[in-house]
Every structure is written in structure tokens, then in C-alpha cells.
Structure 1
Amino acid sequence: MRGAVGIAFFLLISFSIMVFIPDIIVYGTWAYKANSIVEKVTKEAEIQGGVTPSVEAHYNQIIKDFGMEDKGFTIKYSKKGQLQHQGRFTVEFEGAYTFRSFNLLGTGIGNFTLPIKANDSGRSEVWYR
């Protein structure tokens, strides 16, 4: 009898973890993509000398390539426009992911949301006269 209770408890815990694994993988993938997007946008802004319209167009192309244009993420810049050499700026990419693994019968009970946030800062590499 003790063995059966132990096996049932083990199976219950194992099932819960196995159901949760796909959501963890998706969350990790989105967090990785968010960090990659911020890194690429920051690098492009450093090369272009600030957050210019061409950098914003580059950002729009990156999120399309990563398949995240309609996922509810937003991007914020501390400064827009051209920055003199060594001018500092920051880039923030924010969103959230809703875990639906424990959604009870489609009612929404058991859902929870974790934020995804990626930050980076850079300095302009361009001299303006």
C-alpha cells in the first residue's frame, strides 16, 4: 500500500512538471528574443549615432523577423534623434507571457503572467558638426 501511494504522488508531481515544461520553453524563447532585439537595436543606434528613423525601421524589421510584432511588446528609448559622440541612450523592451498550463477547463483559473523585460544602454559612435 505504501508503494502505491508513493507512486501515485510521484506521478502527480511528474505530470504537473511535464505539463509545465512547454510554457517554460516558450517563456525562455521569448526572453531570449527580447534580449536579442534590444542588443541589435542598441548596436544599430550606436552605429547610426542615436535613435534615428532608420534605427526604428531596423527595429520594425527585426521584430517581424523574430515573429514578435503582434505579441504585445513595447519598446522605449531614453533619447530619440541624433546624439553627439559618446551621447548615452538606453533601450527598454517590455512585455509579458501568460502561462496557461494549469488553466482549469478553459476558465482562466490557474493562468499567471510573468513579465519579460530587456534593457541595454549604448553610446553614439558618430561625430556631428
Structure 2
Amino acid sequence: KREEEKIWRDLEEVRRQAATIEEGRTRTMEKKLADRAIQQERDLALRQNRAKAIATKTAALEQKKRTEFLQMREKQLAGQEQRRVSQDIMRQKKMQAAQSRLQNSERAVAVQRSQLEARLKANQEKAERLERMRE
């Protein structure tokens, strides 16, 4: 009977040890699963952060390109406006020069006309004197 009790105690001890071993295996498996889940979460967060960084960088580059394009367009428009203003100024100067030449020509014509009229008058007076002298 004692031996039977000893066998039962040994059997109980073996069962406890087997349960402890099984519990350790279960905890090890749970830890591996938890570690794997944590690593997957980290990997996912890393991929999301990379995607977000790429999207931010792309958006910044696009904004920079838009800004550069707008600045270039503004420069072009300013250059066109400057050329237009310069052309207007040149056109006005040419018109003023033409106007000045026209006025000078008109003055010259007026002077020539008055000289011609003076000669005609002098010739007329001379002809009248000659006519009177003949009478």
C-alpha cells in the first residue's frame, strides 16, 4: 500500500511537472505571438510613417513647382509690361518728333509765304510806281 501511495505521489508530481512544463510552453507561445503582433504593429507604423513622409515630400515639391511657375509667370508678365511701356514711350517720342518737324515745316512755309507776299507787294508797288511814272 505504501508503494502504491508513493507511486500515486510520484504520478502526481509528474503530473504537476508536466502541467508546469505545459504552462511554460503555453506562456512561451503566447509571448512569441505577442512579440510577433508587436513587431507587425511596428512594421505597419513604420510603413505608414514612410508613406506619410513620401506624401508630404511630394506635396511640398508640387507646391514648390507651383510657386516657381507662378513666379516665372509673374516675371514674364512684368517683362511684357515693361516692353509695352517702353514701346509706348518710344511711340510717343516719335510722335512728338514728327509733330515738332511738322510745326517747323509749317513755320518755314509761313516764313516763305510772308517773304513771297512781301516780294509780291514790293513788285506790285514797284509796278504801280512805274505805271504812275509813265502817266
Q: TM-score range by the shorter chain?
A: 0.3 to 0.5
State the structure with bigger RCO (CA 8 A, min sep 6), 1 or 2: 1
User: What's the TM-score, normalizing by structure 2?
Assistant: 0.32
Higher helix share: 2
Q: Which one has the largest radius of gyration?
A: 2
